[in-house]
Chain A
Amino acid sequence: MTTDHRTRRNYLNANYSIWSWLFTTDHKRVGILYLLSVTFFFFIGGAAAVLFRLELMTPRGDLTLPETYNKLFTLHGIVMIFFFLVPSIPAVLGNFFLPMMIGARDVAFPRLNLASWYIFITGGLFTIWAIVTGGVDTGWTFYTPYSSTYGNTNVIAAALGVFIAGFSSILTGLNFIVTTHTMRAPGMRWFRLPLFVWAHYATGLIMVLGTPVLAVTLLLLILERALGIGIFDPALGGDPILFQHLFWFYSHPAVYIMVLPAMGVVSEIITCFARNRIFGYRFIAFSSLAIAILGFLVWGHHMFVSGQSMYAGFVFSFLSMLVAVPSAIKVFNWTATLYKGTVTWSTPMLYALGFIGLFTMGGLTGLFLATLAVDVHVHDTYFVVAHFHYIMVGGAVMGYLGGVHFWWPKMTGKLYPENWARFSAILIFFGFNLTFFPQFVLGYLGMPRRYHAYPEQFQVLNVMSSAGASILGVAYLLPLGYLIWSLRYGRRAGRNPWRATGLEWTTPSPPPTENFPDGTPIAGDAYQYSSVDDWDLVLPAPEEHPEEAAV
């Protein structure tokens, strides 16, 4: 094939006008719009984290006022969860690649897809407005009656922002479900789907079934705060525990909205850079569904010391333990995929292997928290903070960055500088562990979370954590720099620089608007890698110019 890259039409150069972006219904362009938006929110949330980690260098609250500190961690939580982690992989990589992976021209509802981005931006602007006009200090959990009656910050605006953004999540999930059901290419049977698609299908189910409950909860909170209707405040005849039940009914499954797509990304990367078929395809596929279903049955483990019934505690502890099984199945299968493969320690692979290690630690410490008597001690301490950052940052963010690097050549047609990228991946891994590992120790020692000032005995561990956070902050800026650099100066990627299987690699990079210019592709089994045949063809060596793969 001898097509000239410079003149070929693709989704990026099809039309340069701003309106062609703002009114696009191309799933790839919507993915790029989300990429820019969530990157913006990621650095806002990260900046807040850097500020409060600086405050926590010293036991006395001497850098910020307590009001400011409380607003900073609230901002960090709300922005990172609702405006970065929940949309990150699904709305960026899922929107871009799910249709391409199943051989479709677009998602099932392209205009709803664009609408979801506008809804997301509206929610984001509401939240930013709530922040610049004074902020909100309830924590991202909005616990009542503090949020409904006692707090005097912008609770209504912030809750409304999250409420609105939730609808974008519902539309994204709906699109994934319908697209996967109705738009698969000929031959793309369910058990030939890439595991990325299985993961996003499971995620879509959670988004569609869980998010409305969050919407109801936040609406009740807004009504109670505005009109004093007495759903949650006992002074008005309400029940504050009811809020926690409703809130966690969404917000625990939301954790799986964040981590399941990352698991899908990891399955793609591990197979490609181990040149091996996935070990236990069906077990990984069904474990995604099992996690999605079990995820709805475990919310009460956030409430073991809340005053909920002891017997409810038993049931929720038991069900939470069961999540260990599908999680362990995935971890073991990924590890076994390396066996008798041909492993390249490329940047996406570093992120994927980092994900497995960190997710394993996050998952295992989740068992501590599901254990009733241990949770009583570590609940609401830094142990919990460390645990969920191992899942959400060590898991979801590592998966996101791995996926962005893996598909960057496809999205942009350019290769990033491999050595810079490997260095950043290692620095992020190191900075992450230095930030969050000490917090496990702090938590078991008893340091409560959301403390502006703390007893002196906790200082050493806090300084370690803050040092790690500053490394992490710098390490996250590096990809921003070299990825932007690669847009102009990066080498051309060609159609399939990693020699990956999967339909998205059979079309030019960047893909043309219609995705598959040669007509709808015919799908075969997923992950047709052979470690014996082509182990010398894997990564283009840094000095070679990658040619278009002769397909």
Chain B
Amino acid sequence: MNTSFELFPEQASTMAHKVDRLYLFELGVAVGFTALICALILYFGVKYRRGSRADRGNPPQSNLLELMWAALPLVLSMVMFAWGADLYFDQQTGPDNSAREREELDIEVVGKQWMWKIRHPLGRREINQLHVPLGYVVRLRMISEDVIHSFYVPEFRIKQDVLPGRYSTMWFQPSKTGTFHLFCAEYCGTEHSRMIGEVIVQTPAEYSAWVSGETGEPAEVRGRRLFEQHGCLSCHRGEDSSRGPSLAGVFGRQVALSSGQAVVADEA
């Protein structure tokens, strides 16, 4: 069993520490109120327990108290609303325009049962992986081929539903190199929990090398690695019960498509 244990995810985007700060504020309010209520219940419950000799004269009713404990939650919740709305506005509209000369990148994302297909501006495609350069403002333009999915990177504190028939967009600015989780957060059917991948933040130099496609691996090795890495086997198992056909030896063969046509499986 894996016994590693943590309380907070990594902060890997410019939004992460802002969301965490608000979360910690709310955590403070929540812990404070819960502790207050529990302490009062225990204190009153013991002090005024049956048989105790505590003074019970003139139990009060107080409109001032009612007003106070209505006003305090109102004020605190309005702080949470305003703070959260301000950050949400940034998340929805894009980073402010103060840094005009920053680097930007637009990437296309297609979600389908059960994989993420990604296309970079220079044409490079990948599945269940998203390579991005550190410090760039990355904009995703996303759509689904079937049901609703949701693009979620916990370390960036961002999430956006990916809808069929309609584009949704989101942006982030990675602040740390490394490999981070990519989850589908909206339940999308049988293999929902396999619709996961990783976001790989590289230095801009590494990214531009990657995006131009230099790997140096032989085709078979690379194919096998990709096949396993992308979970193609979850559909193309080559058993009767599997969703897709086996792909063993498919390269260069005629394949009948569901449209009735036949094509030769080639590099495309």
Contacts and interface: CB of A to CB of B under 8 A. Distances in A.
Given A305-B150, A321-B77, A377-B159, A280 B61 contact: yes
B48 A328 contact: no
Nearest to A353: B41
A277 interface: yes
A137 B189 contact: yes
Contacts of A277: 59
Contact of A340 (B56, B84, B187): B56
A221 to B, nearest CB: 14
A380 B185 CA distance: 6
A143 B148 contact: yes
A373 B84 contact: yes
Contact of B81 (A240, A274, A341, A371): A371
Interface in B47-74: 48-51, 54-61, 65-66, 69-70, 72-74
A512 interface: no
Interface string A338-370: 111111110000000100110011001101101
Interface residues of B, number: 91
A371 B56 contact: no
A380 B150 CA distance: 9
B194 interface: yes
A388 to B, nearest CB: 15
A532 B56 contact: yes
B164 A235 contact: yes
Given A353-B45, A445-B8, A460-B5, A380 B55 contact: no
Interface stretch (B28-36, B103-111, B132-140, B201-209): B28-36
A531 B1 CA distance: 55
B166 to A, nearest CB: 7
Given A459-B1, A460-B5, A66 B191 contact: yes
A452 interface: yes
A150 B65 contact: no
B186 interface: yes
A146 B148 contact: yes
Nearest to A281: B61
A544 interface: no
Interface residues of A, number: 99
A342 B50 contact: yes
Contacts of B183: 446, 448
Contacts of A141: 187
A59 B2 contact: yes
B72, B76, B192 pick with most chain A CB within 10 angstroms:
B192
A306 B189 contact: no
Given A455-B181, A532-B56, A240 B148 contact: yes
Nearest to A278: B61
A234 interface: yes
Contacts of B232: none
B19 A240 contact: no
Contacts of A521: none
B32 to A, nearest CB: 9
Nearest to B156: A377
Interface stretch (B87-95, B117-125, B217-225, B257-265): B87-95
A307 interface: yes
Contact of B37 (A314, A341, A360, A371): A360
Interface in B134-191: 146-148, 150, 152, 154-155, 157-161, 163-166, 168, 181, 183-191
Given A307-B166, A377-B158, A446-B181, A364 B70 contact: no
Given A321-B78, A455-B181, A371 B190 contact: no
Give the 3 A-B residue pairs with the shortest CB-CB distance, closest first: A446-B154, A234-B165, A373-B87
15 contacts: A66-B191, A234-B165, A307-B161, A307-B163, A307-B166, A321-B80, A338-B48, A339-B60, A343-B45, A365-B30, A373-B157, A380-B185, A446-B152, A457-B2, A457-B6
Interface of A: 59, 61, 66-67, 70, 137-139, 141, 143, 145-146, 149-151, 233-235, 240-241, 274, 276-277, 279-280, 283, 304-307, 310, 313-314, 317-318, 321-322, 324-325, 327-329, 331-333, 335-336, 338-345, 353, 356-357, 360-361, 364-365, 367-368, 370-377, 379-381, 441, 444-446, 448-457, 459-461, 463, 531-532, 535-536, 538-539
Interface of B: 1-9, 15, 18-19, 22-23, 26, 29-30, 33-34, 37-38, 40-41, 44-45, 48-51, 54-61, 65-66, 69-70, 72-74, 76-78, 80-81, 83-89, 91-93, 113, 146-148, 150, 152, 154-155, 157-161, 163-166, 168, 181, 183-194, 196
